[in-house]
Amino acid sequence: MRALKKDGADQAIGRSKGGLSTKIHATVDALGNPTGFLLTPGQACDLERADALLPTLEAPIVIADKGYDADQRVLQALAQAGKTAVIPPKANRTNQREYDKDLYQACHLIENFFCQLKQFRALATRYDKTARNFLAAVYLAAATVWLN
């Protein structure tokens, strides 16, 4: 576990061989418009904030990549919420689950959204020092993407 700064604020900055990084977790609707964001340090697993982000979705179908293939943390929670999970199984899974491959083709919408976010230089390079300011810049860029 990382130590917090003296003021107790976690700035969502992670260290790796490549340097400092931050991971943006996002959700989009069926049209590719952004609906929610969370920040974590760059080395964090995708599942670290899935508990907070995925159950709050109002959509009856949740499409995600293989990184979210976890029975207890994601699949069972979505099933209890009455949502259909369209998540391909990982290759090392002992019992391969079935998923709707036609619906999974819509997964490109989240990738398209991240490509649009990368057009904003301040987001691509994280100019902001605090996580609060960086997240505010993400929301501002997302509003611009939504309006275009």
The DSSP secondary structure of 63-86, one letter per residue, reads E--GGG--IIIIIHHHHHTT-EEE
pLDDT in tens, 91-120: 998 888 899 999 999 999 999 999 999 899
Q: Which residues pair with 27 in a beta bridge?
A: 36
Pair of tokens at residue 83: 């949502």
pLDDT confidence bin for 8, thresholds 50/70/90: very low
* Beta strands at 19-28 and 34-41: parallel, antiparallel or unpaired: antiparallel
Question: CB–CB of 54/31 below 8 Å?
Answer: no
Predicted confidence (pLDDT) at residue 1 exceeds the cutoff of 60: no
End-to-end, the C-alpha distance of the chain in Å comes to 40
**What is the set of domains in the chain, with CATH numbers?**
14-147 (3.30.420)
Q: Residue 4: is its pLDDT beyond 70?
A: no
